[in-house]
Amino acid sequence: MKKKFVIVGATGAVGSSLTKLIKKKNLEAHLIAKNKDEVESLNQETGFSYTVADVLQEDYLEKVEKDLGDVDISGIAYCVGSIDLKPINLISKKDYINSFNLNLFPIVEIIKKFQDNLKKNKSSIVLFSTIAVKQGFPNHSIISPVKASLEGLTVSLASELAPNVRVNCIAPSLSKSKMSSKMLKNPKILEAIAKQHPMKRLGEGLDSAALANFLLSDESSWITGQIIGVDGGRSNIG
């Protein structure tokens, strides 16, 4: 039976970089993304199977299960995220619900759906948080607690699913991506934020993807329950 990694959010900066790293290793992956043109372009480049689906849709898991078929799942990377920035006085309950609906609930449902497959194959799960959980920033009162719940999920699942499934979480600082492009369109702002990192640059999708690639592999077989910063040193020495 074929073995495949499942990459959710495969067309973003991290997801697309991870897809290409997996292809370089001559391994297989199933790609999930909501943008049809972008995921088809990745399919043409890699030959990987794919599902066009939005994780906010109720039927997205049915689509994934149908397209994935009968395969062994080697691991899952949930590369979906959001940048929800508002001052506290403008935040509504709906803001939190929307953020949880995107950042937390879909990966819980994916794991529930495929947990027997994951356990059978001694698989690895990689989630994505943010530096803003560990280090406080203004206007992060939506995304910081939502991603903190994802870190809690990481350690809880790592305990619950061990020794059959490993679960780890990557916590990047601000990186260049379509999602952050509006924030970074001003060169002066980009340069100022880059200087706040000891490495004096912003992250790239490949920075987090390289770690995700390692955590999905057997080379990290004794690593689970970890929250690992990919932040140019900002969270600890910035």
Place of tokens 């590369």: 79
Query: How far is the CA of 26 from the CAs of 17, 20, 21, 201, in angstroms?
Result: 15, 10, 9, 31
Q: What separation, in Å, do the N-terminal and C-terminal C-alpha atoms of the chain show?
A: 47
Domain 3-175+205-237 has CATH 3.40.50.720: yes
Q: Quote the pLDDT of residue 183.
A: 66
Q: Look up residue 38 and give its two tokens.
A: 């972008």
pLDDT less than 70: residues of the chain:
175-177, 179-184, 197, 238
Q: What distance in Å separates the CA atoms of residue 13 and residue 175, rounded to the nearest whole number? A: 9
Q: Round to whole Å and give the CA distance between 81 and 63.
A: 21
pLDDT given at position 91: 96
Is the Cβ–Cβ distance between 225 and 160 less than 8 Å? Answer: no
Determine the pLDDT at residue 169.
Answer: 98
> Tens digits of per-residue pLDDT, 13-44?
999 999 999 999 999 999 999 999 999 999 99
- Give the integer Cα–Cα distance in Å for 73 and 120: 9
